[in-house]
Structure 1
Amino acid sequence: MGVSGITQRVKRLPPRMVSVGPLEVQHSFLLMPDSPLNLLGRNLLCKLRATITCSPDSSLSLEVPEESLNLLPVLLSENQEAKEPSIFEITKDIQESLWATSSSDVGLLKSAVPVQIKTKSSTPPSIPQYPLSKEAIEGITPVINSLIEQGIIIPCKSEYNTPILPIKKPKKGPDGKHIYRFVQDLRAVNNHIIKRHSVVSNIHTIISSIPSTATYFTVVDLCSAFFSIPIHENSRHIFAFT
């Protein structure tokens, strides 16, 4: 229950230095602009066994036993950690369409510049498809259909062909059937194209840029990230499969 008499959510300010007697500690305060008076923090005052004296001029004086002052840094840190917002509160304002709803969803970056691939003058690779089991075909079919519906895979005619290899995942789907991962053997294509310089930052450079004071880290798992960058229409036929 808030000071206004109703349940409400309020923001927490960045930690500030607080002086209580001879001690200085950091504490994160709640921001409540509509509060008619300063909040005393009764739970903390009780732990400190504090005494509040009210004067006729409406002023207040606070007395805290010396032995309680030694506990102040611990009490403030416990209070602050308990009030840290959860990941669900932090991400509640993000559009739900951003999150994947199935393992076959793709976050296609429509604003990205399509990648155009240059090839060597050698004969285009055309490798027959490996024999697949009936279970593998049935398992990979929904994945391919989903990629077609999302515009990731487009039917075409091409002199190129490289085999696909459906990989069974350990985890089963809601229907009890195994989920398959779409994998394509692109080794022949890699030998046929003119490789570009790496555009991925060195991992050691990224880690060294993190300040030593950082305590919270976020990991974002991109769903089907391989398909998120579009291929230029003049290069799509290179990745054909049957």
Structure 2
Amino acid sequence: MFKLTKKNEADINLKVWHSKREVGKLEIDPIHIIIKNPKDPIRVKQYPIPLEGRKGLKQVIDDLLKGRTIEPCMSPHNTPILAVKKADGSYQLVQDLRAVNARTRIRFPVVANPYTLLNQLTPKDVWYSVIDQKNAFWTCPLDEKSRDYFAFQWEDPDTNKKQQLRWTVLPQGFVESPNLFGQALEHLLTQFTPKEETKLLQYVDDLLIARSSKKSVRECTVELLNFIRAKSLKVSKSKLQFTL
């Protein structure tokens, strides 16, 4: 594995890199979710969350509210959240959307087969880079009518105040998120043309650039990162890979 050179980094718009309080945004029409029997509320009671877990989620919730990724609401729907402790001791917000997924009228998934994608590579394509888009699904806005389906209850650990919040974007764990984001990104990438014989492959939110030339892969990666920034998306710098 090799990393970006200082020159590479100097050529990249620094705003492409993900930070905790910034979420990218695709300039697309807000997405409408179709639910079976929409007049029948989707209601699953909130699971008990220990105080430690709620304290761990406090900053996560506050950041999402500040970024308008979630917002207060009074929804007839509700599904539970969990506080999942990560290896580094921090907490991840996870919503159990199984009840919503079961009631969703799913559009036909147009997601590439990874084996078919990789068959496009040749033995000469020994240099490649992998770009991981951070919180990719959150770049897709939800329309007003669809947001209530993704409501959840939050109890503040400091005030013990309970309120409902809802996602304003495609949430993680929703059955249609990979397909809807993948199609939006695929359409966006039609505006980007790799130079010469450099290959650009997309699988949902992961992008792979490959060619026989190390220099070409580096140059194309820098160009793609700047294109991604111009389209208001974010990339995880720590997960960016250049590999032989």
Q: Same fold (TM over 0.5)?
A: yes
User: Quick one: structure 1 residues 108 and 180, their matched pair in 2 at CA, closer, same or farther if it must change by over 3 Å?
Assistant: farther
Measure the CA separation in 2 of the matches of 1:198 and 1:168: 32
For the pair shown, the structure with the greater C-alpha radius of gyration is 1
2:47 aligned residue (110, 120, 130): 130
Contact 1:115 1:232 in 2 (8 A): yes
Question: Could you say which residue in structure 2 is the equivalent of 1:241?
Answer: 152
Q: 2:92 aligns to what?
A: 181
Query: Structure 2: how far apart are the matches of 1:198 and 1:88?
Result: 41
**Residue equivalent to 2:33:** 117
For 2:76, the equivalent position in structure 1 comes to 159
Equivalent pairs counted in the alignment come to 151
Specify every segment of 5 or more residues in structure 1 that has no aligned partner in the other structure, as ranges. 1-83, 172-177
Distance in 2 between the 1:216 and 1:238 partners?
44
Higher strand share: 2
Give the TM-score normalised by structure 2: 0.57
User: Structure 1 length normalisation: TM-score?
Assistant: 0.57
Do residues 204 (structure 1) and 115 (structure 2) align? Answer: yes
Task: Please provide the CA RMSD for this pair.
Answer: 2.0
CA–CA distance in structure 1, aligned partners of residues 5 and 29 of structure 2 = 32
Kindly indicate which of the two structures has a greater share of residues assigned to helix.
2
What does 1:40-189 correspond to in 2, within 5 Å? 86-102=4-20, 105-109=22-26, 111-121=27-37, 123-171=40-88, 178-189=89-100
- Point out which structure has higher relative CO (alpha carbons under 8 A, 6+ apart): 2
> Is contact 1:124-1:192 (8 Å) kept?
no
Of all paired residues, the percent bearing the same amino acid is: 36
Distance 1:149 1:85, change over 3 A: closer
Task: Measure the CA separation in 2 of the matches of 1:203 and 1:91.
Answer: 30
Write the deviation string for residues 70-105 of structure 1: whole angstroms up to 9, x where unpaired.
xxxxxxxxxxxxxx9944433432211110123x64
CA distance in 1, matches of 2:82, 2:102: 19
- What SS is found at the alignment partner of 2:85? strand
